[in-house]
Amino acid sequence: MMTIEDVYRKFDEIGCCSFATPDGHGGVEARIAHFFAYDDEGLYLRTMDVKPFYRQLKESGRLAVCGERTEAKVVFDEDNLPLFKPGYQMRVSGEVRELSMAEVEAKAAHDRNFNVAVHDIAKYPETRVLVLHRFHGELYDYDYAMARRDHKLYRERFAFGGDTFEEPGLRITDSCIACGTCLEGCSFKAIVPGEPYAILGERCDECGNCYHVCPAGAVEGKGR
């Protein structure tokens, strides 16, 4: 199970990520940013109160962040198909709140990662610190060529601050007739034989192949 430190370290390895907020007019705006610290209360970011980013965070109280780390750019094989190097994606979505200066200084006394926030506030007085304190998310670790393991995908979902999450993967119902058609059609090695067959959510890409081929209509899709 991922800890909040694990989540922060994964984002820190990625570096700069896409931070998206509602724009207040029915749309979404995104910019490149990063988390600078973490603790048991959440993941921390900073911006200036004269920016649209700050206004959107304050008005909506919502933030979504995603990023990807991979070894190299995509190359192509002799059939002109892409060969993806192993890597992972991280995403989180949830609620933010602003910290007072007293809170920031108190945290800086025990965690040097907050010193940059204290420094920025002194140099740029409009700097504000916010914390993503209630959120859910996912680690999506891929190795499509199965260069390092015998399956393509590992997914782990998590939640902090009282938030919840839906487990990944499609689901096979009791309507399954155990014919094995779904097993043959799954390139992610996510299906286990049985009565009924079962899908390993941590390996399932939710690509829909099993849903498409099942003759008994026993596979449940998401959002249907």
CB 201 within 8 A of CB 217: no
As for how many domains the chain has, the answer is: 2
Q: Domain limits at 18? A: 4-160
Last residue of a domain, one of 128, 160, 192: 160
Same domain for 126 and 202?
no
Using one digit for the tens of pLDDT, what is the confidence trace for 3-30?
Answer: 999 999 999 999 999 999 999 999 999 9
Q: What is the pLDDT of residue 182?
A: 97
pLDDT at 85 over 70: yes
Q: Is residue 165 part of a domain?
A: no
Q: Is residue 71 part of a domain?
A: yes
Q: Is residue 200 part of a domain?
A: yes
Using one digit for the tens of pLDDT, what is the confidence trace for 39-60?
Answer: 999 999 999 999 999 999 999 9
Q: Is residue 166 part of a domain?
A: no
Q: Which two tokens stand for residue 84?
A: 């993806």
Residue 9 backbone dihedrals phi, psi, to 5 degrees: -60, -40
- We report the CATH number of the domain holding residue 13 as 2.30.110.10
What is residue 42's DSSP assignment? E
Q: Which two tokens stand for residue 154?
A: 């590992």
Q: What is the pLDDT of residue 73?
A: 72
pLDDT at 132 over 70: yes
Tell me the pairing of strands 17-22 and 28-33: antiparallel
Burial class (CB in 10 A: 0-12, 13-18, 19+), 195: exposed
Peptide bond into 22 cis (omega under 30): no
CB 48 within 8 A of CB 129: no
